Structure 1
Amino acid sequence: MANRMAMNALMGVRCYPPAVPATTVRTMCPMNCHPTLCGMLVDVEDGRLLGVRGDPDNPDSQGFLCIRGQASREIIGNPQRLLHPLIRDRRGGGEWRRASWDDALDLIVARMRSAGREAVGTWSGHGVFANNYGTRVSSHLLRRFSNLYGCQWWSPTMICWGLGAFGLGLTGLLETNTKEDMGAHSALIVLWGANLASQPNTARYVAAARRRGAGVVTIDIRETEAAAQSDEVLIIRPGTDAALALAMMNVIVGAGLHDRGFIDRHTVGFDELAAHVASYSPDWAAGVTGIAADRIVALARRYATTRPSMIVLGGSSMHKGANGWTAGRAVACLPALTSQVGIAGGGLGPRHGSATHGQMLNNIVAQERRPPGRYVPSQMVRITEAMVNGDVKVMLLFGTDMLSSYADAGQVGAGLDRCDLVMVYDLFMNGTARRHADVVLPATSWLEEVGAKSTNTHLYLMPKVLEPPGECRPVTWVLGELARRLGVADFYPWADDSGALDAVLDHESTGHATVAALRADGGIRALRISHVAHPDLVFPTPSGKIEFVSQRARELGLPDLPVYEALPRSSFPLALRQGRTLTHFHAFYDHGRALPTLAAADPVPVLWIAPADASARGVADDAPIRIYNERGQLDARARVTSKIPAGTVWMRDGWEGLNRLTSGVAAIPDDAVEVFGFSGGQATFDAMVEVVKR
């Protein structure tokens, strides 16, 4: 055979290698819809992707794969894919030219050296977690590089769930029960700001609980997809969740529905809390939240007297306001008052970014080797200020559209304009790259490098299936080349591509997994965790107990008891809020525009608006509109619907230009943002707006 091929080559006959039969490989969907992560089977032939489908043997998703996952096949072979390094000499209109990797990296390193290490910032987004969400080895490596070099690094949790988790942490309830526990044991499920469109695997267990006879209550600012799974729906005014929780505590304590024995053993500050909530009556809360007082009383009694009851908190959207952390702080007191903690079917249910009891991994970030320096805290507004003020001059952006991720995008853009160099590493061009980047580097996709994802219950291998196209390189290679040029020693001390991942996974919770061991297990391994949160009734607070009165909050200059803080007044009449839908995930893949299926399903920005608000402005359904305030404007189309109350408007997040409307003010002090090991430094995404016809 070899001789025949050689002879054909000499004669000028084109030769083809023998066809490789199609194979099916188990992996995971590249969308990071935590706590919903879905298994995927990919069919490959001759180095080509033939198709993707749900994996029926995946214990988390059981064959389910939503439109986002189905659309991921369009990443491979996409004509818009970045394939080569690009450089331009002038932003905002200068022509991109193809460059070699050496030219691109040498330019980046020259600007880094000129700026000085403390004036270099590294920021990553979901684009580099597509192959490792839950294990986050790419984030570990970026932080390791930043620590060894001594430049700025900021935690990506600040754009998502960190602020809400900060409030939960002050009370002491950071762990969550699993969706499996909820489906099997909960008698009442309160979906508090938790839209199941972004948690389809959780929805399956809500449905299972309902079939057992469990009650389901939804609390949200609009009728979400979760409403269809609920026997009661309470529509709440944006930013008033803490007021509702305080009024529920008022009812529970006033009616003697609390568990004094549990409170005495496992909490601190009950007497102060009881006196504090006495003034937060249901009548007061009705005026604040828009929920009738009798419904607040009924909900509080139902929650306190149904056992076990579980609260599933929204992971992101409900915590993005100026008072966003106060909701988590107050809601977390409810399970403690009623001893719904540390039991099957109780406590808090799965939410974005949460962990189960025992779910841990190793740390390879080399924090102890970070040199002293002037570091900007992981506080969104401080990062923006550092760019605007010239304290940060080089921004290295990995898998993120910063303009879409950050509040007050107008100021973010002004800061990027002041930088000496902006680098974007991604699969596709995005808004930040088009407007502000000097260098664009082509990234690898989820099938083109080895990785592993973790849910709250399982660990999954994501093997390398395809060779990267063009000159695409994994983030590990890019960071390694930067480290080599900068003289940063010991960035990657492992022997092969799996080494860093093996080091992260080498923990008791994974059974000391390795890539090789996962492969031998068929790509799936159950984690050694508890399906019940805080089963030992030990809590991550200074006292080791649930803290109604928070010592940590007091030390940070925050109220030591749960409070409701009204949002700032505005001359604009409509409260704009953001959330997720099944057809998108943040700003992935150029806001989904690069994937034809998602672009067709969600072609333009659409604003939900109540009939009364639309009528007052002469706006008809599907009419072109303009949303504006003192910071900026966004063109969209109207969806006139009774599923949202007057005074509130809603749009799915991630649209380019949406965050030009948001305020960007810090929600908590700088000293508070990293007290729990993640960043709660999310700026406020509040926006009061007006809407007019175009």
Structure 2
Amino acid sequence: PNFFSVESVCYRMRIRVRQMTFGRYPVEEMDSNLYILWGHNPDQSDFPLKFSLKKNLDKGAKLVVIDPKRIPIADRADMYLRIRPGTDGALALAMMNVIITENLYDKEFIEQHTFGFEKLVPHVQKYTPEWAEEITWVAAEDIRKLARLFANTKGASIFQGTCTHDQTANGTQNSRAFSVLQAITGNINVPGGWVTSPPPRLGSVGLGVEGDPVGSDQYPLFFEMWGKKSPYGVVTVVPESIPEKLKAFLVAGGNPLVSMPDSNAFRDSFRKLDLLVVHDLFMTETAKEAHYVLPACSHLEKWGVAYTYNVCHCLPFIMLRKKCIEPLYESWSEWKFFTELGKRLGLEDKFPWKSEEEMVSYELAPSGFSFDTLLNEKPEGVLYSPKSYERKEGLFRSPSGRIEIYSEAFEKVGFDPLPTFLEPERGPKRGKKEFLEKYPLILSTGSRNLYYTHSQHRNVEALRKLYPEPMVEISPSTAKRFDIENGDDVIIETNRGIVKMRAGVDERVADGVVLVPHGWAGDANANLLTDVQCREPIMGYPDMKSLMCSIRRA
């Protein structure tokens, strides 16, 4: 069997890369001396950081915003850099060039805790700020200024936007570059930097997956690391794997026909399945294509464990998600559904728990916090681990026991062991002339909205009144070029399809860039524009942030 989740296109790349580099997963602290918001907009998508950032700016912390759109918090920034979508890796490499050329790196930390720095030094010589300026739209002097500010600040953090850098042609190497920048400046395990902290210890209620999932042969670093195999399949190979390799799909609490790249390709392939079952609260676009739709409970109707997985700004937080009411009507929780399915498949011994409470108790047991403790004594949740800035020998659990600036894991499977840069496959520098004439604008999908989360909440009437329809954002210059007025109905087109939206003309958006929100269904579905064949070469993530498109009045 194959297993997929949102991590097949979201966030897992970043986790994987940091684990390969550090042997653990370091995360950004909320209280920094220098915040680099790199494609990240906490006002719309990260409220814990939003409040901490503004508090620390009032105390004198510095802020840099790197984004093709001048987001509101950039008005308080020490530097705002308007970057071309998909070129973040080039900027990061140029920063390394400056830091190394000007001897701004943390020599003691590098000597004690890193592997391969001596190979990085000649590698970055060609990545000058002038080279990066031609690619990124960021002035060479601004690159130098940023590199110096970052290297000279202890307690500095790069805050990556969720998927902003993953869903590009250079996704894996972007995360590698950010990791190396944090390492060579010594901004690891210092207050305000990236901090290693363990995830909660929880009992596993899942089973190992036998065999190799689809995509594991094409993208081995996504699947296996240092002999440890992941259960995840590479979701971008799903359409081409149906019906030969994949014949049935069970979708629990997801809407892949909207959230996965290239909705047309997914829809066409799903129609070739022998069986499609959806377990959900809502009749989603995917559910409408299913052979069977089974009603699911909401979070208010089931027990569970809520925890941060330590990806949320080094907050080692865990709490019990309390069941408030009994399941309504014919709805079942995931626990009940999969338990009953397992029994009918003759797998009773794999589902030993007699109730949800018993299963949650089993899951909590290794954490040191019991079901009763979290229910009655700590209903607000607890911090399961103290914060630590230790840098002791053996802390970094990579094969070398150090932070791997030079990654032999990458080298082993044929990829550059040092950070590199790859232009978007169908971007303005690599696209063919005829293609670029037809699609002259840079498309970036997935911009966040305060009122909705991904494809959720558009059925909430109060929220829909606040933001009733999707708007594509373009600059006044782009609007004038294509004879578009603010509020016009427009058509955005790529080589994969078209969407219809209302135009939002905004001077904060970079010229030549089209920002399309995601999560909307129907003819406003952004993934009608994306291409499942346009993939990042190392881990197979789709390019959804730096494609090419055209725009015209409807």
TM-score, normalised on structure 2?
Answer: 0.88
CA–CA distance in 2 between the matches of 1:212 and 1:371?
Answer: 53
1:174-573 maps to which residues of 2 (within 5 A)? 175-177=25-27, 179=29, 182-183=30-31, 186-196=32-42, 197-347=44-194, 356-367=197-208, 370-372=209-211, 377=216, 378-387=233-242, 389-434=243-288, 436-455=289-308, 456-507=315-366, 510=367, 512-532=368-388, 535-536=391-392, 538-568=395-425, 569-570=430-431, 571=436, 572-573=439-440
Matched residue, 2:548: 688
Q: Which runs of 5+ in 1 are unaligned?
A: 1-150, 349-354, 674-680
Specify the SS of the correspondent of 2:301.
coil
Specify the SS of the correspondent of 1:318.
coil
Q: Which amino acid aligns with 1:544?
A: G
Residue deviations 1:86-140 (CA, integer Å, cap 9, x gap): xxxxxxxxxxxxxxxxxxxxxxxxxxxxxxxxxxxxxxxxxxxxxxxxxxxxxxx
Q: CA deviation at 1:382?
A: 1.9
Does structure 1 retain, via aligned residues, the 8 Å contact 2:171–2:536? no
Q: CA deviation at 1:229?
A: 4.7
CA–CA distance in 1 between the matches of 2:271 and 2:130?
Answer: 50
Q: How many residues align?
A: 515
Q: CA deviation at 1:628?
A: 0.6
Q: How large is the RMSD of aligned CA atoms in angstroms?
A: 2.1
CA–CA distance in 2 between the matches of 1:237 and 1:651?
Answer: 15
Residue deviations 1:188-214 (CA, integer Å, cap 9, x gap): 111112210110111111112112211
Q: Which amino acid aligns with 1:423?
A: V
Residue deviations 1:572-591 (CA, integer Å, cap 9, x gap): 21121122221111112xxx
Specify the SS of the correspondent of 1:690.
strand
Aligned in 2, Cα 1:216/1:173: closer, same or farther, shift over 3 Å?
Answer: farther
Q: Which amino acid aligns with 1:156?
A: V
Q: CA deviation at 1:427?
A: 1.0
Does structure 2 retain, via aligned residues, the 8 Å contact 1:609–1:648? yes
Q: CA deviation at 1:636?
A: 0.4
Q: CA deviation at 1:177?
A: 4.5
Match of 1:648 among 513, 522, 526: 513
Does structure 2 retain, via aligned residues, the 8 Å contact 1:239–1:567? yes
Does structure 1 retain, via aligned residues, the 8 Å contact 2:18–2:26? no
Specify the SS of the correspondent of 1:461.
strand
Q: Which amino acid aligns with 2:146?
A: L
CA–CA distance in 1 between the matches of 2:46 and 2:375?
Answer: 27
Does structure 1 retain, via aligned residues, the 8 Å contact 2:36–2:65? yes
Specify the SS of the correspondent of 1:626.
strand
Q: Which amino acid aligns with 2:306?
A: K
CA–CA distance in 1 between the matches of 2:262 and 2:473?
Answer: 22
Aligned in 2, Cα 1:376/1:307: closer, same or farther, shift over 3 Å?
Answer: closer
Q: CA deviation at 1:374?
A: 7.1
Specify the SS of the correspondent of 1:516.
helix
Q: Which runs of 5+ in 2 are unaligned?
A: 217-232, 309-314
Asked if 1:168 corresponds to 2:18, the answer is yes
Q: CA deviation at 1:244?
A: 0.6
Q: CA deviation at 1:251?
A: 0.6
Aligned in 2, Cα 1:234/1:289: closer, same or farther, shift over 3 Å?
Answer: same
TM-score, normalised on structure 1?
Answer: 0.71
CA–CA distance in 2 between the matches of 1:565 and 1:206?
Answer: 32
Match of 2:488 among 619, 623, 646: 623
CA–CA distance in 2 between the matches of 1:328 and 1:375?
Answer: 24
Aligned in 2, Cα 1:199/1:536: closer, same or farther, shift over 3 Å?
Answer: farther
Matched residue, 1:50: none
Residue deviations 1:12-49 (CA, integer Å, cap 9, x gap): xxxxxxxxxxxxxxxxxxxxxxxxxxxxxxxxxxxxxx
CA–CA distance in 2 between the matches of 1:177 and 1:532?
Answer: 12
Q: CA deviation at 1:375?
A: 5.5
Specify the SS of the correspondent of 1:483.
helix
CA–CA distance in 2 between the matches of 1:305 and 1:173?
Answer: 26
CA–CA distance in 2 between the matches of 1:598 and 1:256?
Answer: 52
Q: CA deviation at 1:541?
A: 2.5
Q: Which amino acid aligns with 1:525?
A: G
Matched residue, 2:529: 661
Matched residue, 2:479: 614
Does structure 1 retain, via aligned residues, the 8 Å contact 2:517–2:526? no
Specify the SS of the correspondent of 1:531.
coil
Q: CA deviation at 1:159?
A: 2.4
Q: Which amino acid aligns with 2:36?
A: V
CA–CA distance in 2 between the matches of 1:386 and 1:502?
Answer: 38
CA–CA distance in 2 between the matches of 1:533 and 1:334?
Answer: 18
Specify the SS of the correspondent of 1:637.
strand
Does structure 2 retain, via aligned residues, the 8 Å contact 1:542–1:552? no
CA–CA distance in 1 between the matches of 2:123 and 2:62?
Answer: 30
Asked if 1:154 corresponds to 2:8, the answer is no
Q: CA deviation at 1:665?
A: 3.0
Q: CA deviation at 1:371?
A: 4.5
Aligned in 2, Cα 1:563/1:533: closer, same or farther, shift over 3 Å?
Answer: farther
Aligned in 2, Cα 1:475/1:683: closer, same or farther, shift over 3 Å?
Answer: same
CA–CA distance in 2 between the matches of 1:254 and 1:203?
Answer: 34
Match of 1:576 among 419, 426, 443: 443
Q: CA deviation at 1:361?
A: 2.6
Aligned in 2, Cα 1:213/1:264: closer, same or farther, shift over 3 Å?
Answer: same
Does structure 2 retain, via aligned residues, the 8 Å contact 1:190–1:219? yes
CA–CA distance in 2 between the matches of 1:480 and 1:554?
Answer: 43
